[in-house]
A and B are shown apart, each in its own frame.
Chain A
Amino acid sequence: MSAAKDPPVLEVDGLVKHFPIVGGLLQRKVGAVRAVDGVSFAIRRGETLGLVGESGCGKSTIGKTVLKLVEPTAGRIVLGGEDVTHLPPGKMWAHRRRIQTIFQDPYSSMNPRLAAGTIVGEPLENFGLSRGAETSARVAKLFERVGLRPEAMRKYAHEFSGGQRQRLGIAKALSVNPDVIVADEPVSALDVSVQAQVLNLLIDLQEEYGLAYLFISHDLAVMRHISHRIAVMYLGRIVELTDKRTLFERPLHPYTEALLSAATAPDPRRRRSRRRLVQGDVPSPAKPPPGCHFHTRCPYALPECRVTAPPLVEVAPGHQVACLRRPPGDAGAPLSIPA
């Protein structure tokens, strides 16, 4: 990781994204899904920030919003020092080279009628970075770099296995030398042996090119492996953000604690001993509970938690937590369950 004084390559400040719910005969707006509800973070060169949370927590919407695939409702997105929040598509285009994406299912993002080499080379030509034979040469290099044979450039997407398609997706994202890659569940659809190959490749590429990753996943073990810092999300808000070691060793937010306690580990002797379950389901993001969104499932909730939404505050250097029971300077003592 580079020194902290480097300006962040991607900065998000107070990001909000509401999706309208329309209903009735006139299709009027009757409510909103608060998919992202005031989220701030920054990523530096060579760093992986993990966004972890359960379905509906807004992690994918954040990915789409920073890519400007959906327009933010409020907040700021700063890419390489430039505010791109309100850039119209025409002007955004010039910035797209700097931020690329890898999808969970790369197959659905690939034109089945184009050869793999053409798919990977398209961004190069689109951005006018190379033409014709030069593109082919660069694509061949990219293929080799991600572990595909250059002869495979002539094949079509359906001829590749899932892991190979993900390599294609990575090659395509890499082709234009981006600063940031948004990776939304890039290994979730892969078998573990192939998942290992792709994770290793992503880490190698990061070290080689100084890439910053916004890595979105629900898988805590994958998260711990690849991330430097991790933001835990719950119903549109970040509830805890810190370096990965601190997060796993000394989680401060009750939801983080619940999430860690629920994760399975490949060790039969750990079973049964450590479960502390949160009860119930995640509430709907269309109707999040007032106050702290987690209070309905939190064993430590106080009456105050039902009313006041806790701000994300720095509890210790580099450790932000949004919990009324974790004030600044909190040493991380176990919380007591209110009577």
Chain B
Amino acid sequence: MSAVLEVRDLQTRFDTLDGVVRAVDGVSFDVARGETLGIVGESGCGKSVTALSILRLIPPETGRIVGGSIRFEGRELTALPEHEMKGLRGHQISMIFQEPMTSLNPVLTVGTQIAENVVRHLGVSWSAARDRAREMLDLVRIADAKRRLDEYPHQLSGGMRQRVMIAMALSCDPQVLIADEPTTALDVTIQAQILDLMLELKEKTGTAIVLITHDLGVVAETTERVVVMYAGRKVEEAPVEALFDDPLHPYTRGLMQAIPRLDVEADAAGRRPRLQEIPGLVPILTKSIVGCAFAARCPLATERCRREAPVETDVGGGHRVACWETAR
């Protein structure tokens, strides 16, 4: 599989009152054409900043990409002039966010917003763009698309707004769709509908999806490969089955044991198995981390882990882990 997007040793930093935050600290991964890649981790692990870095949406007043490379179809994005980047965003690479209401313009109709994107990137007439908008609303299964085109975002439910965002994101046939917690704000039954829709559209359009989430259930059910991040670094990468069958990094293992599971039974007395806790706290990202970022919380950590950052090792079948102890 050829990669449509290659991220190498990405480093993104932010200036804060407490010092410089190393939000993304040397992350590398590929996105293959038409695949669904999950990026999973807890808050502050750098997963969203990775996405924003790819689209060069890091606010320049506070943050910047300080190192590494992002190659999209062979083009280096970190060095691309802003006007070329603008031509790319929403066209070849597009993005949807957690809360659609904050990314939709409240004073423009849904149809205008979708058509605007089409006019801008494909240079077609407004009436052709409007036809495309209607076609897109049909595609994301919004009933009565013709009428909905003339409605404003506040007239739609949360699930419908996310459908509109998806319609807009896919309106110019992007190669990559980055979805940052797209269903986190939605109810369970609506989440299922949106996830199914995204996968179905991926099959139809061949768009690769980068799905960023904290939810291991969503990862398990929708992705093909997964990158696990911790404290700005990638700790593990694997095909989804391998990751859930045989998690290698102690952090990944900790996460899997910490989630309450629908499929794990209480014992005969109805007592619930105790959830595994990961002791301690995430390291502070304003200080440079020596050795493995997880060492302070890791049950397997040795002297070496505290001294030397682990090198990523491929243990076979595309399963890679950055751990001195488990990568054997």
Q: Which residues of A contact B (CB under 8 A)?
A: 1, 54-55, 161, 191-193, 195-197, 199-200, 203, 218, 220-222, 224-226, 228, 245, 248, 258-272, 275, 277-279, 281-282
Contact = CB atoms under 8 A, between A and B. Distances in A.
A192 B214 contact: yes
B112 interface: no
A196 B258 contact: yes
Contact of A199 (B215, B260, B278): B260
Contacts of B196: 275, 277
A221 B262 contact: yes
Nearest to B223: A268
A281 to B, nearest CB: 5
Contact of A54 (B188, B219, B222): B188
B220 A55 contact: no
B116 interface: no
Given A55-B187, A267-B244, A275-B192, A192 B217 contact: no
Contact of B261 (A199, A259, A265): A265
A interface secondary structure, majority:
helix
Given A193-B42, A200-B277, A221-B259, A266 B192 contact: no
Contacts of B214: 191-192
A236 B222 CA distance: 32
Given A193-B277, A196-B278, A277 B189 contact: yes
Contacts of B217: 221, 263-266
Contact of B262 (A228, A248, A281): A248
Given A191-B43, A193-B278, 17 more contacts: A193-B255, A200-B277, A221-B260, A225-B272, A225-B275, A248-B262, A261-B192, A263-B262, A264-B192, A264-B195, A264-B220, A265-B220, A265-B261, A266-B244, A268-B220, A275-B192, A277-B193
Contact of A192 (B220, B221, B255, B263): B255
A23 B195 CA distance: 38
Given A270-B221, A275-B192, A245 B270 contact: yes
Interface of B: 42-43, 157, 159-160, 187-193, 195-196, 214-222, 240-241, 244, 254-256, 258-263, 266, 270, 272, 274-278, 281
Most chain A CB within 10 A, of B222, B244, B259, is at: B259
A266 B42 contact: no
A4 to B, nearest CB: 14
A-B pairs, 8 with minimum CB distance? A264-B217, A225-B260, A54-B187, A262-B192, A193-B278, A196-B275, A191-B42, A196-B258
Contacts of B221: 264-265, 268, 270-272
Nearest to B192: A262
B270 A228 contact: yes
A279 B194 CA distance: 11
A259 B258 contact: no
B275 A199 contact: yes
Contact of B260 (A222, A228, A267, A270): A222
Nearest to B188: A262
Contacts of A218: 187-188
A55 B42 CA distance: 24
6 contacts: A1-B270, A192-B255, A196-B278, A224-B262, A260-B262, A266-B244
